[in-house]
Amino acid sequence: MASLTGMKAGGFYDRHSSLQRTTFEAVYPQFAAAIATMPLPEEPAVLGVADYGCSEGGNSIYGLGRIVEALRARRPHQSIAVMHTDLATNDFNHLLGLLLNPDTATYAQKHGALRPGIFPMFVGASFYGPVLPPACVHVGISMLAVEWLSQPITHPPTDHIGIMAGDARALAEGRAQAEADWRLFLAERGREIVPGGRLLVSVPGRNETDWCARGPYDLLNRACRELVGEGRIDASRYAAFCFPVYARAADELATPAAEGGLFAIEHCETLDVPIGFECAFDADGDVAAYATALVGAWKAVSEPVLRAALLRPGDDPASIDAVYQRAEALVRADPQPWRFRNLEVSIQLVRR
Ligand SMILES: C[S@@+](CC[C@H](N)C(=O)[O-])C[C@H]1O[C@@H](n2cnc3c(N)ncnc32)[C@H](O)[C@@H]1O
């Protein structure tokens, strides 16, 4: 089951997902060290690398490409199956167009010439169920995807669209759903990843005092509420909605992983990853550019969910565009309340 249809398609997500790329860069060196020394099966076995939650592909092609290079550094002629997976409603066409674009070079081809022994594959399935055949993955990643719960919570916060901004009941429900989902995700990956295989999972998270993207959630909530007040968004739809996203603390990744018994924990950490547009704004103070970048990044991940949840049949689709226009105006008027802090929790696992 899944509670969304994917990110904003048609290349929009890829153009506005540099913070996800930066997060991968922050956690990858430690993972690369594990790939460099992990046991590999006897040649000529095919190795499998997989991304769970690949979206439109720019970051996935890059991340899995780094892993392909790390494995090829060990075995230059190694056959590798490269598996990009996401919901069936994801924009896989965009991913394919990027991967096989003859004007570029990717892990799969160089200016149209396919790389021998590299086999890209694409699967549309929820990662809260089986995605790939048993024991076919040697290295898996899932970047900023498992925070999306398998289903919405039943008691959304009053007057807010973020679970993390909610009351004790909303938070408890989010926490319980996130734990059940994470246990399920690990059980499914346990079937797909071979003994000795590695899995890296990073999700927007929280520390003792803050949670990832508090400012942007508040921003989108404020914009929605203004449009509800103006009669452009249905009040009951707004009241019934919150994003099915829960920001875990590091122990909310580590404890279920340890208890599940399928994986051993190699590394688990909480990171405060700098965001390019936040740093640029600190350096140049260009509030218009900042507003466009911040709202673009937020729109890329949130717009399809918001559109599906807030529009009744027959409602004006432009109302959702207006939410993001309002958000941009709010940032331009006063950027400080909405600043984006990129708190991520990351866990590196080895299949027992
Ligand atoms: C913020 S994007 C991250 C994409 C990519 N990993 C990156 O780092 O840029 C989250 C992705 O997770 C996917 N996703 C969310 N829930 C999912 C599920 N249950 N099964 C598979 N994919 C899911 C979404 O469709 C989306 O493409």
Q: Indicate whether 238 belongs to any domain.
A: no
- Pick the residue whose CA is nearest to atom 16 on ligand 1: 148
- Ligand 1 in contact with 126 (CB < 6 A)? yes
pLDDT at 209 over 50: yes
Residue of 223, 246, 281, 232 lying closest to 176 (CA atoms): 246
pLDDT at 34 over 50: yes
- Pick the residue whose CA is nearest to atom 17 on ligand 1: 126
Measured from the Cα of 2, ligand 1's closest atom is: 19
Residue 243 DSSP one-character state: B
How confident is the prediction for the chain on average, in pLDDT?
97
High-pLDDT (> 70) share of the chain, %? 99
Q: Indicate whether 294 belongs to any domain.
A: no
pLDDT (mean) for 203-222:
98
Ligand 1 center–CA 149 separation, angstroms: 11
Place of tokens 């929280």: 206
Q: Indicate whether 129 belongs to any domain.
A: yes
- Ligand 1 in contact with 17 (CB < 6 A)? yes
CA distance 157 to 34: 41
Amino acid 61: pLDDT: 98
Please tell me the number of Cα atoms within 13 Å of 290 on its side-chain side: 22
Q: 317-331 pLDDT, tens per residue?
A: 999 999 999 999 999
Residue of 86, 79, 195, 85 lying closest to 134 (CA atoms): 195
pLDDT at 1 over 50: no
pLDDT at 288 over 50: yes
Q: What is the domain count for the chain?
A: 1
How many other CB atoms are found less than 10 A from the CB of residue 78?
18
- Ligand 1 in contact with 23 (CB < 6 A)? no
Name the residue of 3, 14, 54, 142 whose CB sits within 8 Å of the most ligand 1 atoms, as the mutation to test its pocket.
Answer: 54
3-state secondary structure of 40: coil
Q: 142-165 pLDDT, tens per residue?
A: 999 999 999 999 999 999 999 999
Q: Indicate whether 131 belongs to any domain.
A: yes
- Ligand 1 in contact with 61 (CB < 6 A)? no
Q: Indicate whether 289 belongs to any domain.
A: no
Ligand 1 center–CA 333 separation, angstroms: 32
Q: Contact, 305 vs 4, CB < 8 A?
A: yes
Residue 37 structure tokens: 């020394």
pLDDT (mean) for 61-89:
97
Q: 302-352 pLDDT, tens per residue?
A: 999 999 999 999 999 999 999 999 999 999 999 999 999 999 999 999 999
CATH code of residue 275: 3.40.50.150
Q: What angle do CA 247, 338, 291 make, to 5 degrees?
A: 120
- Ligand 1 in contact with 305 (CB < 6 A)? no
Q: 159-192 pLDDT, tens per residue?
A: 999 999 999 999 999 999 999 999 999 999 999 9
Q: Indicate whether 234 belongs to any domain.
A: no
- Secondary structure in 3-state letters for 143-165: ECCCCECCCCCCCCCCCCCEHHH
Amino acid 2: pLDDT: 52
Q: Contact, 108 vs 82, CB < 8 A?
A: yes
pLDDT at 300 over 50: yes
Ligand 1 center–CA 3 separation, angstroms: 11
Ligand 1 center–CA 54 separation, angstroms: 6
Looking at the whole model, is its pTM more than 0.95?
yes
Q: 40-71 pLDDT, tens per residue?
A: 999 889 999 999 999 999 999 999 999 999 99
Residue of 201, 164, 247, 230 lying closest to 52 (CA atoms): 201
Amino acid 3: pLDDT: 65
Q: Indicate whether 86 belongs to any domain.
A: yes
- Pick the residue whose CA is nearest to atom 25 on ligand 1: 6
Ligand 1 center–CA 109 separation, angstroms: 25
Residue 338 DSSP one-character state: G
- Ligand 1 in contact with 55 (CB < 6 A)? yes
- Ligand 1 in contact with 6 (CB < 6 A)? yes
Measured from the Cα of 150, ligand 1's closest atom is: 19
Over the range 123-149, which residues count as b (16 or more CB within 10 Å of their CB) and which as e?
bebbbbeebbeeebbbbbbbbbbbbbb
CA distance 184 to 176: 12
Amino acid 43: pLDDT: 86
Residue 305 DSSP one-character state: H
* Residue span of the structural domain in which 174 resides: 12-158+169-212+243-280+338-351
- Ligand 1 in contact with 148 (CB < 6 A)? yes
pLDDT (mean) for 196-203:
98
Under the banding of pLDDT at 50, 70 and 90, the label for residue 24 is very high
CA distance 25 to 92: 23
- Ligand 1 in contact with 185 (CB < 6 A)? no
Q: 95-138 pLDDT, tens per residue?
A: 999 999 999 999 999 999 999 999 999 999 999 999 999 999 99
Q: Contact, 107 vs 65, CB < 8 A?
A: yes
CA distance 144 to 200: 11
Q: Indicate whether 301 belongs to any domain.
A: no
One-letter amino acid of 5: T
